[in-house]
Structure 1
Amino acid sequence: MHEIAKMMKPPSYLFTLLAFILFASIFYGHDFSFIFRPHSNHETQTLFSSPEGNMYKRETKREEEEGCDVFNGRWVRDELTRPLYEEAECPYIQPQLTCQEHGRPEKEYQRWRWQPHGCDLPIFNASLMLEKLRGKRMMFIGDSLNRGQYVSLVCLLHQLIPEHAKSMESFDSLTVFTAKEYNATIEFYWAPFLLESNSDNAVIHRVSDRIVKKGSINTHGRHWKGADIVVFNTYLWWITGSKMKILHGSFDDEVKEIIEMSTEEAYRMALKSMLRWVRLNMDSNKTRVFFTSMSPSHAKSIEWGGEPGGNCYNETTPIDDSAYWGSDCKQSIMQVIGEVFRKSEVPITFLNITQLSNYRKDAHTSIYKKQWNSLTREQLANPVSYADCVHWCLPGLPDTWNELLFAKFLYS
């Protein structure tokens, strides 16, 4: 009888599985069936309302059913859990993002937590994230804003790794953080357009006359093969006006064939190239692919009710108007993303950081960063004139982007 009872006792792993299912059901507020469903392109469908509406939203079919969109919420002040790490304790932050080191007089921008309306974000668990990355290669691919998110993730993880068991190295466009005991790498690849361009040099890329080569994603894509988790972004570098210059042929051609294309159509071309590359080069059963939406800037304080002529300089609190959009958010570009992703069969998880970041006029590096060029006497007398209202201090907003990535990576 004792042996029969022993045989009928459920194995211990079932309790772990049941505990996970219970957590997931609470997090998503829905039944258990989604856990066992394969990913589909419906999960990445996007819905964009006009900026004249109350909110800019991205809702998945799943989130509509479950009543919780983690990208729709508000910022709450939190001195207990924020910041998630200290600036001085993370040696990997570039001097462009170390705001405290460069004289920012307060830390209010570090003390805000994103609170979705219908649920709570899971607490970022660095140990669990590292276990999920064991034996894997994770890549962030895109521009300096994606690099900021990459560095944020490294800062969130590195303190759990002994000094002798981690390293950071750069190889031209590629930067690699290695967690040796986990046999894992977290990498960043500089490709601001994803396609080949005249802005691809990882150091010298500040060119005013930007040119993108049509059909050239394999130029960079050959370096991405074999990645297990990929996080793409591309947006800021496309905003050069209403037109983009597109190269047919090679940058080495003596006579170059260059045509002009609307920014929207050029951006559409790049997204289609990205999706086609993912379809042809990545196994959707083994690889998770994410695409991060545009990171907004705050160059005109009049947009949020501030004084004319101002910007993010001296801003220390978020925007509390839930309907705030900001005119610099290129709605036409966001519509292109929605249209292209809706038609795609490629499974990609869309991280909509745009609206929640729109509220954070206080979180930019502003004047508190390394200045690569000497400032004139006139600039020094008028800090607004050289404030960086594009990039974000670390620790800060990009940590929230990684909390959202963590939630989507582990629990969907």
Structure 2
Amino acid sequence: MKHNQANNDHHHHQFLYRIIIKNYKSSSTKRVVLLAVLIFLVILTTVPIYHPSINYSSFFFTTSTDNSSSSSLVPGDDDWDIKIQSSSTHKCDIFSGEWVPNPEAPYYTNETCWAIHEHQNCMKYGRPDSEFMKWKWKPDGCSLPVFNPAQFLELVRDKSLAFVGDSVARNQMQSLICLLSRVEYPYDVSYTSNEQYKRWKYTTYNFTLATFWTPHLVKAQKTDPTKSGLFNLYMDELDEAWTTQAEEFDYIILSGGQWFFTPMVFYENHKIVGCHYCQLQNVTNLGMYYGYRRALRTALKAINGLKNYKGVTYLRTFAPAHFEGGLWNEGGNCVRTVPFKSNETLLEGPSMELYMIQVEEFRNAEREGRKRGLKFRLLDTTQAMLLRPDGHPSRFGHWPNENVTLYNDCVHWCLPGPIDTWNDFLLEMIKTERLRSAEESLRFSDRKLLVK
């Protein structure tokens, strides 16, 4: 199914949320104090926290909506237009934009960060080009600050964050560890030796980072090994490996999608209701979209049903793969070395369908969560990653002479690489959350003052 760019933008913007900070005028001492708190938070979230190990010539960035900048903090690139101002990305859609050159990147390497998964360690395994690491996302009409590790850690002090999903979620977690490594490395405090359920502790900041492996988001079991890759999915049952621990976290980043391309049998009420590409007799082919919608709905409903959860849930949207010349198991590859411009490609086909399912289910979950005071946010990485066919490992996830059965990887992302921008988004959203909370506190104060 094809969509033109205007229709794309319409769907994209329809469900994104913007913050409008209103002016408050009152002689009340209490309102003055609350306003002072808000101003402090604005300063906190727009001026990076100092840390002696960081060169802040590349970190003292704030968002500018003025495109007539006379100076750029990135040498030789006037298009960046990043100035030291007190403006904020609440004035623009940070998820719609273009990739622009960034000669300052990367901010870590595969030699300075031990957290990179072997199959995403592209430079170790001989990728000959390095320009894929030297791009930055620039939203339309404003700029996105470069990730500031000291500021991030200060904002999440005494908090916890969990990545819930598949290996792409793990890919983002390892990117975050590498970005934070300029300030501090965490200690492994995992409760199990299973690498699919890791926990890390940043002791200076009392910040816990975790990952939960749940590629189908719901309860799933692999069938007879003779039926290669076939999974039973229990669409109305929770994956308790993560749902029983979710209440412990202040932030949850939920994501998934790639595993729904594989063969699946769908169960509801302990009975088979259909499948996707299962090739079983007398079983209706309901398709992958049915399976993904039901699984995502169950996962979001599980979060809304947690009695003691008070955190912020981010639904990270689908990151398209970039196989060309064939499917993933039919010789397809990704050999491009530069990003697309936004007018060079469109979100269509399965990627568009999965994205639209996410947006629709997110909207429903957000509406239900609001009744309980829960916060759902859309971490919309889809457009940015659609434009990065150059950022995948391809064949550079292992040595050429290794005796391994690995296909060209056009799903995961090299580290360092474009996936680092997901954490630029995340930091900006956490900062915005602080502003939003301060705004809500002011509004609550207004209501109390009116009662008096």
TM-score, length-normalised on structure 1? 0.73
Closer, same or farther in 2 for the Cα pair 1:317/1:189, shift >3 Å?
A: same
Cα distance in structure 1, aligned partners of 2:400 and 2:258? 20
Task: Give distance in 1, aligned partners of 2:426 and 2:357.
Answer: 22
- Aligned residue number for residue 106 of structure 1: 129
Q: Give, in whole Å, the separation in 2 of the partners of 1:301 and 1:372.
A: 20
Is the Cα contact below 8 Å between 1:301 and 1:311 reproduced in 2? Answer: yes
> Following the alignment from structure 1 to structure 2, what is the Cα–Cα distance between the partners of residues 339 and 87?
38
Deviates more, 1:12-21 or 1:316-325: 12-21
Preserved contact between residue 72 and residue 116 of structure 1 (Cα < 8 Å): yes
- Determine the structure 2 residue equivalent to 1:225: 247
Aligned to 1:177, the other structure's residue is in SS state strand
3-state DSSP class of the match of 1:83? Answer: coil
1:192 & 1:365 partners in 2: Cα distance? 20
Q: Could you tell me whether the CA contact under 8 Å between 2:222 and 2:230 is conserved in 1?
A: no
Distance 2:236 2:172 in 1: 27
Is 2:101 the partner of 1:77? Answer: yes
Deviation at 1:66, TM superposition (A): 6.3
State the Cα deviation string for residues 102-129 of structure 1 (Å, max 9, x = none). 1111211110000001111123221121
- Between the aligned partners of 1:79 and 1:28, the Cα distance in structure 2 is 20
Q: Is the 8 A contact 2:392 2:411 kept in 1?
A: yes
Are the structure 2 counterparts of residues 207 and 224 from structure 1 closer, same or farther at C-alpha, using a change threshold of 3 Å? farther
**Structure 1 residue 239 and structure 2 residue 267: aligned?**
no
Give 3-state SS (helix, strand or coil) of 1:299's partner. coil
1:370 aligns with 2:398: yes
How many Å separate the matches in 2 of 1:144 and 1:152? 12
Q: Decide whether the 8 Å contact of 1:198 with 1:210 is kept in 2.
A: yes
Aligned to 2:274: 259
Partner of 1:361: 389
Number of residue equivalences: 341
Q: Corresponding residue for 2:357?
A: 336
1:301 Cα deviation after fit: 5.8
CA positional deviation for 1:149: 0.3
Secondary structure at the residue paired with 2:141?
coil
Cα gap change, 1:16/1:126 in structure 2, threshold over 3 Å: closer, same or farther?
farther
Whole-Å separation in 2 of the counterparts to 1:108 and 1:196: 41
Query: Cα distance 1:184–1:293, how it changes in 2: closer, same or farther (>3 A)?
Result: same
Contact 2:197–2:213 (Cα < 8 Å) also in 1: yes
Q: CA deviation at 1:72?
A: 0.5
CA contact (8 A) 2:133 2:416 kept: yes
CA distance in 2, matches of 1:295, 1:403: 16
Which segments of 5 or more consecutive residues in structure 2 lack a partner in the other structure? Answer: 1-28, 47-61, 66-88, 276-285, 370-374, 434-452
Cα distance in 1 for partners of 2:219, 2:99 equals: 38
Deviations along 1:258-279, whole A, 9 cap, x unmatched?
6333322222211221221111
Q: Which amino acid counterpart does residue 337 of structure 2 have in structure 1? A: T
User: Structure 1, residues 168-222: CA drift from partner, whole Å, max 9, x if none?
Assistant: 645423111111222221011100011011259xxx9x95212211222152311
Partner of 1:142: 165
The alpha-carbon deviation at position 312 of structure 1 amounts to: 0.9
- Greater relative CO (CA pairs within 8 A, separation 6+): 1
Alignment of 1:192-203 (within 5 A): 192-198=215-221
Structure 1 residues 13-412: aligned runs within 5 Å: 17-18=38-39, 20-21=41-42, 27=63, 68-80=92-104, 82-161=105-184, 166-167=187-188, 169=190, 171-172=193-194, 173-198=196-221, 207-220=228-241, 221-240=243-262, 244-248=264-268, 257=272, 259-260=274-275, 261-281=286-306, 286-300=310-324, 311-313=333-335, 315-325=336-346, 327=348, 329-344=350-365, 345=367, 346=369, 347-370=375-398, 386-412=407-433
Instruction: Kindly state the Cα deviation for residue 374 of structure 1 after the two structures are TM-superposed.
Output: 5.2
**Per-residue deviation at 1:395?**
0.7
Q: 1:267 to 1:374 in 2, by over 3 A?
A: same
Alignment RMSD (CA, Å): 3.5
- Taking a change above 3 Å as real, the CA distance of residues 67 and 328 of structure 1, as seen in their structure-2 partners, is same
Change (3 A) 1:160 1:21: closer
Amino acid at match of 2:94: V
Q: Structure 1 residue 223: deviation in Å?
A: 2.8
- Separation in structure 2 between the aligned mates of residue 28 and residue 265 of structure 1, nearest angstrom: 42
Indicate if the aligned counterparts of 2:164 and 2:212 stay in contact, CA closer than 8 A. Answer: yes
TM normalised by structure 2 equals: 0.67
Paired AA for residue 181 in structure 2: H
Q: C-alpha separation between the residues in 2 aligned to 1:240 and 1:161?
A: 39
Q: Percent identity?
A: 27
